[in-house]
A and B are shown apart, each in its own frame.
Chain A
Amino acid sequence: MKQKLLLCFFLLSALLGTAYGQEKTIRGKVTDQSDGSAIAGVSILVPNTSIGTQTDAEGNYTLQVPANANAITLRFIGYISQTINISSGNIFNVALAADASQLSEVVVTGYGTQRREEVTGSIASVNGEAISKLPVQSFESTLGGRMSGVQITVPNGVLNAPPVFRIRGTNSISLSSYPLVVVDGVPTFTDRVGSGSAPTNPLASINPSDIESIDVAKDAAATAIYGSRAANGVVFVTTKKGAAGATKINYDGWVGITSAYGIPEMLNAQQYIDFKTLGVQNNPNADIQYIQTNDANGNPIDTKWSDVVYRTGLSHNHNINVSGGNEKTKYYFSTGYTDQEGIIKKNDFKRLNGLFNVNSKIKDYLTVGGKLAYSNEKNLAAGSSGSLEGEAFATAGLGRLAVILPPIISPYNNDGSYNINGSAIGSADNIIGIGNLSYYNPQAMLDLNRSNTENNHVQGNAFIQIDPWEWLSLKSTYGIDYLFLENDSFSSPVTGGGYSSGGSATGSYDKRKVWVFTNTAQFRKTFGKHNVSALIGQEQQRTTRKSFGITRQTLSDDAFDQLQAGWVTNNASNMNIGENYLLSYFGNVNYNYAEKYFATANIRRDEYSGLGEKKGTFWGASLGWEIAEEDFWAESSIGDVVSSLRLRGSYGKVGNVGGVSDYTAYSTYNSGLYGGSATLYYDEVGNTALRWETSSKTDVGINFGLFNDRITAQLAYYNNDINNLILRVPQAPSTGLPSNPQQNVGTMYNRGLEAAFNFQAVNTEKFQWTSSINFTYNKNEVTSLAPGLDAIQTETSLETVNQTMPGYSLGYLWVIPTAGVDPETGKRIFLDSQGTKVYYQYYAADGQYNYSTTPDGTTQYINPVTGGSAISASSDAVMYANSIPKYYGGWSNSFRFGNFDMNILLTYQLGYSVYYGTNAGLHDQRWWNTSVDVLTDGWFNPGDQNKIYAKPVYSDNVSNGSAMPLDINVFKGDFLKLKNLTLGYSFPPKLLQKMDLSNLRLYVSGQNLAILTGYPGPDPEVSSNGGNNTGQGVDRNTVVNGRTFTFGVNIGL
């Protein structure tokens, strides 16, 4: 070591000596463009020389440069490199922009990292800085628009609902399409867990401000090391670690307000009475009266139900982290608290979390370390939002109640009691002729009920690494991921869902534990210009789950509201037990010649306990050619413009097993009851030959940089053929089979194009502007299902509007075509399967028919195929529009002007349609309230041309789409959203010194600020069926989304 130091000293002196007299000294400070914090360890180099230095812990540097040097280049991992002109002046303060794009220097791959230049697979990366201060619950909901090939759809405005997360399309039908998420080397839980009405996303346990980077592996070469779990892509989350240097303490905090946007405007009380009475007059069978009465204060009742359900939520968030270390030991500790209020009353998210990691190089060949993360989250709600999968038609659904309840009734009676009628809201004296409105009083439910989930999540790992020689690293890591979920729900006996049973409460406890034991050996060696690295490894992963619970009914005392109180009926609930085990061997080889020619190969053999055929081998390989490194290129004139150019390609086969249950091979008998005695019945049809879904991925791409990489681009084409899709193949019901057997049968593909461009548009001392834009085109098509399975229909609760069929993309919208409203009669005109116009009237007078081929209703319609006399989905619906966006992406811009910084993120999704099912309810002619657009778009008088909604006839639930899905409620979903805008100010160093701070930044930020779309509903970025593979593009009674403004501060000591 001493020798090396001496050598350096001599070299430096020699350089200094030769250059003495022709030099100048430059200095300055390097800061983070987004928050103004100092960056230590930034490399500063004079191009084409070996002259350089690094910034110190305060971000300052001093460098002597030759007088003729006119530029320096600044490089730091995770930031966009900058070259600045130094021809005049001596002080150059530089703000580096975080590299939100794909150019960070090091990327995380399975079981290791690689330099960006060496990667020939398709990996996109986001710096943690870009997402750390956004007012969200889980990090992945912020990834939309930031990377090509990554599609995020936030399904609704309910807190902590997992987003729809797809990498390069939807890659399964019945299994999970959620990517594998690996946090610091340990795969974690994803998608919705917990059974309460407040959804629980286990990824919300990771505090976004603890994330250092997110790397998304997309193609076979990048994912194959995860073998049987790689088909949906792999997301690597790396949490922050300490760095050598003085102890750093940072505080981040923000407060924010969230309010709902896009709530449909409904008729007020007078409009309601006028319009609904018209409907009653048009239906001689109806004996209904709508009556205006006064409230307790003597004012006419005019309830805006959305005000009962929605609120402006107040949120605040605090994080403190401490990090530091020396050459040997580095540590990072953070703790955070967030308390967020959603736009629905009583929907809250609270998280308290801590993260500690340390690693220590005990000997020059021995390193040990570990991490422990703990998070406690409370997901709170009063009851169903009606927005999670399977809830769309819930009579308790708050999103629905906010619009359909009539304005002429009030949540309260005039004596202050709840306006209720048994389980339902009361019609009081305001609606005469309807016995029971059947929908619940949302005020009472919000006040009396709860449905909460508390999650305690522990993630940790410990490792030991031995480097016996410089070319070999042996590493053993043991990691755990424990999830402890507790659900607590209560339904009051006063009204609503608990009414008929005299109150009910459910409590359950769900314990899910994973341990992972990984052992790897990593070789790295350079022979001349041949660079070789290789990895072999073995891994075991075991998951166990146990859950139990109780559902209790009929309270012993009406004042009680706890599960532990006295109850009459007690039943077990949420009984689950499961275990699975994955045993794997894997390896890879990376080779490059002179960083010009690249080749990689990955292989993994997995054995998985849940399958019938347990063993599978998966692999991926890639090639790359850095053309710009070739002499002929570098020497040609084009080389001056095109500074880097790489061709790459990969192919491989990976698998999907996410969501396969634990004992699929077994045909099993289950227990039941017959009059209190135990029974045992054939319950599940097993398949001893069940194996992985396989995904054959091809990826070809070109990356290039122009003008010294001031403009960079990545272009890719991919094709993913999915075979052996696991489907439950239906058998004739007369076989009496208790379940449809799972078989590896279907096929489909996703193929598409990706492009990402980064521009350092302006890069002066005072003003910098960087811009990244990305674009993805994805085509999904199902090519075959199974014999006897022509189509898969996916229900949205009670309604079926998605149908998956060979030749179409997944979950195609399947609706009945219409031909407008007849101008003379106001009747809805349906088109049957033959294209015949069928006129519909809800009320048919004597001698007339509901469905008629003539406008006057006198000629009965007979379906030529089925002989039926009505239009129905099964005979007349058509494959109408695709529900999966064909194009999506984003455009982000970072500006810095002096001490001010600004970030703008726009996201878009194009080329898809959304079934706005809520709109059918908003024009239903029962007593439900109606959207105000009916006053302009509804038919009222003969001769009304081009009206959208049929003549109002009381009780008509057919003409406008409530009874069966119609094309009039399908709309283009294309949108461009101003997802995020942040404006910040960093205090200048002089002021900071006075305050004894290393950094202080204030900012304001807004989310979901504006949306450009033709979609008439609240937001086309929506999903009533959550992440359901075959149920996308449905907006049925879903809670609207929220717009959030935050004010925040970052302080560094």
Chain B
Amino acid sequence: MKKILKYTLIYSIISLSSISCNRDLLDPQPQTSVPDVGAFDTESRISSQLLSVYQGLKAGNFYGGRFVVYGDIRGENFLNQTSNLVTGSDVWALNPTNSATAVVGLWQYAYETINRANIFIAGMQEIGNNVVGPEVGNGYIAEAKLIRALSYFSLLQYYARPYADGNGNNPGLPLRLTPITGPGESDMARSSVAEVYAQILTDLNDAENGLALTNGSEYNNTTRAHRNTAIALKTRVYLTMQDYPNVITEANKIVSSDAPFTAPTGVTHALQPDIATVFTNYTTTESIFSMPMTSTSGDYPGTQNGLAYYWTPGSSSGGVGNGEYALNPNGIIANSNWKSSDARRAFVMTNANGSNWLMKFKAPSPYTDYVPVIRYAEVLLNLAEAKVRSTNQVDPQAVALLNAVHNRSDKSTTYTTANFASASQLIDAIMLERNIEFLGEGLRNNDLVRLLETIPAKGTVPAKSADQNGYIWPISANELSLNNLMTDN
């Protein structure tokens, strides 16, 4: 009896231990993420992936905030208040180093977005188009190409010499067009500026061909690319390349010949009667492309990235931000041609102590203002400028376009051709208009640099001419140390 019990117990232990092990547990599947092999398996994964390319663009370090901030603070209209390197005091002073937060961060985030686009485009061609069908798939690819183009274009504005300097013969960017999902692909030399622009235009042309005319809702028309988005961006790209005839060609596709100017095809873009509307109702037909924000974690710009965080003072001073940059009293707000009755003056808040702040973006923390990427007003002014620069005359349509933008906010002024004695006067007026209209929207740097103009002095920072060190950024230190074919600026 005793022996039986003993051996039964031994047997139970041995059998229990041998059957209880569960080899399946050695290969657990992730429960909250999708393994790469299945990333293009379903329609919803594919559409979610496409949105992730937009999400890359929207990162707080890129179009969600900082890219736009850098565009303004390089110019003369803002004064740094906090001397904080993390919030771009070096960008403002035009002397960031290779390892500066801005230089390293923007490079990284833009290329992450590019790689997301590359992964998506290749995955669609390989698998995805079969899942969603070629028609939908090609539309998706067109959207990804537009974002890739915009990302390369954005990088060029800081990290490469302007196209105007030697027609794009200077070093541009490593042109990465294939997906990278693993190690070992660090080395790649820079293509020339011209080659990168050529790729940007190829992508935008492809996008124009592949994109839908409209996306069905105001929200989707603003936050997702459609055909007019590609065209609008091309006007910006060609203008930057000083290829004015092509600016006109492209702009004419989406700008009617006479006022009131609207887009004759696709989404009916038009100026809003009141500029203030554009920054409260984020999805009007004026906002061709904007970055949407919500107050859900991960869907807003993040710490020290929001535009309102930079441009507005603390709540005790009437703002919602951290007062990083005040308006320069000697910058654009000092310009007497910007009349006090101009509706855009309402964006400028003057505090009791005399400091001036831009209140265009005023959603409080977590800073959920949509960030404009391109507005219809810019297309109008791009066209106006191209017309004048290509004809070197006081072009009547150019004046009408300028007037459309200006008169909307400054009802007391109506521009006619009689107001401009020469083409250069008209150009000056258009450039001034851009400076007022897009204050705080990130276009200032591009408007100076594409023309090789000197960046004006501000505060304690001296002016910087196009041939001086610091006119463009250095290359990210991380790129230089890890990409053996990379060269610095």
Interface residues of A (CB under 8 A from B): 363, 365-366, 421-422, 436, 464, 466, 468, 474, 476, 500-501, 517, 519, 538, 540, 542, 551, 569, 571-573, 575, 577, 579-581, 583, 607-609, 614, 662-663, 666-686, 729-738, 741, 743, 788, 790, 868, 872, 874
Contact = CB atoms under 8 A, between A and B. Distances in A.
B336 interface: no
Contact of B55 (A476, A580, A672): A672
Contacts of B183: 685, 729, 731, 737, 741, 743
17 contacts: A464-B13, A466-B13, A519-B16, A519-B17, A583-B25, A669-B35, A674-B58, A679-B49, A682-B115, A685-B182, A730-B478, A733-B478, A736-B176, A788-B186, A788-B481, A868-B97, A872-B97
Contacts of A731: 183-186, 482
B299 A501 contact: no
Nearest to A466: B9
Nearest to A500: B365
Nearest to B290: A675
Contacts of A674: 51-52, 54-55, 58, 223, 292, 299
Nearest to A729: B183
A609 B25 contact: yes
Contact of B182 (A542, A668, A741, A868): A741
Most buried by B among A421, A671, A731: A731
Given A571-B297, A609-B27, A673-B299, A680 B52 contact: yes
Interface in B269-313: 291-299
B6 interface: yes
Contacts of A517: 17, 20
B119 interface: yes
Nearest to A546: B31
Given A476-B17, A736-B116, A580 B482 contact: no
B99 A874 contact: yes
Given A674-B55, A685-B183, A731-B183, A538 B32 contact: no
Contacts of A542: 25
A581 B118 contact: no
Interface stretch (B105-113, B206-214, B233-241, B396-404): B105-113
B26 A474 contact: no
Contacts of A569: 295, 366
Interface in B37-60: 39, 45, 48-49, 51-52, 54-56, 58
B36 A669 contact: yes
A681 B297 contact: no
Contacts of A736: 111-116, 118, 176, 180
A741 B180 CA distance: 12
B316 interface: yes
Interface in B181-200: 181-188
Contacts of B316: 421-422
Nearest to A573: B297
B33 interface: yes
Interface residues of B, number: 84
A44 B55 CA distance: 78
Nearest to A583: B21
Given A662-B30, A682-B116, A733-B479, 9 more contacts: A583-B25, A609-B28, A667-B181, A668-B33, A679-B54, A680-B52, A731-B186, A732-B174, A874-B99
Contact of B477 (A580, A667, A790, A874): A874
B483 interface: yes
Contact of A680 (B13, B48, B115, B365): B48
A540 B36 contact: no
Given A680-B52, A788-B482, A874-B99, A734 B20 contact: no
Interface string B352-372: 000000000000011000000
B39 A680 contact: yes
Contact of A672 (B25, B52, B108): B52
A215 B30 CA distance: 37
B4 interface: no
Contacts of B28: 579-581, 609, 662-663
A923 B31 CA distance: 51
Nearest to A468: B6
A686 to B, nearest CB: 8
Given A609-B25, A673-B298, A668 B30 contact: yes
B27 A676 contact: no
Given A421-B316, A731-B185, A736-B115, A679 B52 contact: yes
A519 B13 contact: yes
Contacts of A677: 48, 51
A366 B476 CA distance: 70
B411 interface: no
Given A580-B28, A666-B36, A734 B479 contact: yes
A542 B21 CA distance: 11
B49 A680 contact: yes
A422 B184 CA distance: 50
Given A609-B28, A732-B483, A874-B477, A669 B9 contact: no
Interface string B102-137: 001001100111111011000000000000000000
Given A736-B118, A738-B112, A788-B186, A673 B296 contact: yes
A579 B24 CA distance: 12
Contacts of A363: 2
B350 interface: no
Contact of B108 (A538, A685, A733): A733
Contact of B315 (A464, A500, A734): A500
Given A577-B31, A672-B298, A684-B33, A737 B115 contact: yes
Contacts of B219: 675
A290 B23 CA distance: 71
Contacts of A729: 183
Contacts of A683: 33
Contact of B13 (A474, A501, A572): A474
B181 A685 contact: yes
B90 to A, nearest CB: 11
Nearest to A285: B460
Contact of A676 (B16, B181, B296): B296
